[in-house]
Structures are given as structure tokens and as C-alpha cells.
Amino acid sequence: MITLTPLRAFNVPIQAPCITPDEFANKSVAEVTKLPVTEGNRHVTLGDLFKIEQNASESSSITINGECSKVKRVGQGMTSGEIIINGNIGMHTGEKMAGGKIVVNGNTGGWTGSEMKKGIIEIHGDAGDYTASPYRGNDLGMKGGLITVEGNVGTDVGCYLQGGIIKVKGNAGRFLGFHMSEGAIYVEKDCDVRAGALMTAGKIVIGGKLEILPSFTIDSIKAKVKVDAETTVQGPFYVFLGDLSEKGKGKIFASKTNNPEFKFYEKYL
């Protein structure tokens, strides 16, 4: 196991896609120290920025201790192993991840898990905008894996979702699940406007308050909903189908208890 500790406070963005178990595999501390990163417009090495230590454990894990919200692309493309981050971490964490596990004991920046295919990302704080979403102008969303967030998430989360599961214990911003075509998103608390806009399939489950777009239609009332093999949420839930503007067959499950204003939809059942 290798431990990274910042040598100083970081004031400009750092691009560090080399921080993955795949890249560190079979390398000595001396070799890891020489891995290239950029700090602003300067080309430096990992050892210029972090104290790097290795213990006797043979596990393919990396621990990062300290404030690293300026450090981007940690875990990019990783296929196995584990990264534990004890502090905040920057944008693009776990981007294009294809296996392994990332645990963040802090907050993450934008585009966490973008284009993720497999693996697990656990965030024990808040997640930024565009979590599990592609870059602007791209439609390659998350295809698989699991992202869990203990806190809140920002805007445009799960856009173009093509598979996988996102679970949020807090609140979610606007445009949750925009243009999603598969997979599931579960938000335990409230969701801002335009959830599920242009979705064609998949499911969104909201345990708190939300607004339903007029391009969705009421379908039924369910006593509970299964998010995935591990999570079944007790309702009751109003079930809405859409987005009909896209001839979509997606489902939004809205808490009946926390959205009493939806009662008027019942006359259409």
C-alpha cells in the first residue's frame, strides 16, 4: 500500500491521472516519485507535490491524506485496486473507471465518475455538478458501476446515464437524469426542477419533494420500488412515465407523502 500526503497547500489545479493502482503496480517508491503530473502550466513529478510512503502490505491500494480539492483525475481509467481519500478531492475523480473502488472521506469536484463503466465510488460528503455525466456536447454517460453519496449532489447529475446506479442520501440539483436511457438514480431527499428531462428509459426515485415536467404522465401508485438488488424503498410512490416529448418509457417515482400536491393526478388513474 502506498500513502500520499501533500507537501504543501495547492493553489493551482493539478492534473494527476497517474494516481491509480494500475499505474502504481509493480513500481518502487522511487519510480512512483518520478511519475509526471502538471501543476498549473508546470511539468513536475508526483514526488515534488507529495510525501510518498509504502508499507509492508502487498495490497494494490492507495491512500491520500489531506486537502486535495485542486488535484484532478485521481483514479482515471482505473481497472482494479482501491483508492482511499481522507479529505476533499478535485474534478474528474474516477473518470472512465472500469473496476476497483474509490472511497472519498470528504467532498468531490465536478464530473466524478464521468463515463464510468464498472467499479464503486463511495463519497462520504457532497459531490459536485455533473457527477456521472459526460462533458458538455458529449452523450457518453455512465454505463455501469455504483456511485453512492452521503451528502448532496449538484446540478446535471446522471446526465445521459446509460447504466449503473447512483444513490444520494441528501438533495439533488436541477436536471437530474437529463436524457438518461438506462440505469437508476435514487435521491432520498429533495430534488430541484427538471428531473428526468428528455429521459427515454431507466428510473429515478425521489424520496422528498420535486416538480414533475408536463411531458410526464401519471401511470400508477406503487407501495414500494426496487432501486437495485441491494435497495428497496418503501413508499407509497406516484409513478410517472416519460419523457413523452422523446416518446420515452422512463419512470419517475415520486413520494406520495412528501408531494401531497400530486393528489390531483389520481383522478387520471
Contacts of 57 (CB under 8 A, 6+ apart): 1
- Residues 117-132: pLDDT tens digits? 999 999 999 999 999 9
Residue 163 belongs to domain spanning: 2-268
Q: What is the residue-averaged pLDDT of the chain?
A: 97
> Is the peptide bond between 214 and the residue preceding it cis, with omega within 30 degrees of 0?
no
Domain CATH for 22:
2.160.20
Quick one: CA dihedral 252, 250, 176, 118, positive or negative? positive
Torsion of CA 178, 183, 187, 188, to 10 degrees: 160
Judge contact between 242 and 215, C-beta under 8 A.
Answer: yes
Per-residue pLDDT at 57: 67
pLDDT higher than 80, residue 59? no
Per-residue pLDDT at 55: 83
Per-residue pLDDT at 241: 98
Per-residue pLDDT at 58: 65
Judge contact between 65 and 4, C-beta under 8 A.
Answer: yes
Instruction: Render the burial of 95-126: b for 16+ CB within 10 Å, e for the rest.
Output: bbbbbbbbbbbbbbbbbbbbbbbbbbbbbbbb
Lowest mean pLDDT among 42-51, 54-63, 153-162, 259-268: 54-63
Per-residue pLDDT at 60: 79
- Residues 192-250: pLDDT tens digits? 999 999 999 999 999 999 999 999 999 999 999 999 999 999 999 999 999 999 999 99
**What average pLDDT does this structure show over 263-269?**
95
| Number of domains forming the structure of the chain | 1
User: DSSP 3-state assignment of 5?
Assistant: strand
β-partners of residue 82 are 61, 101
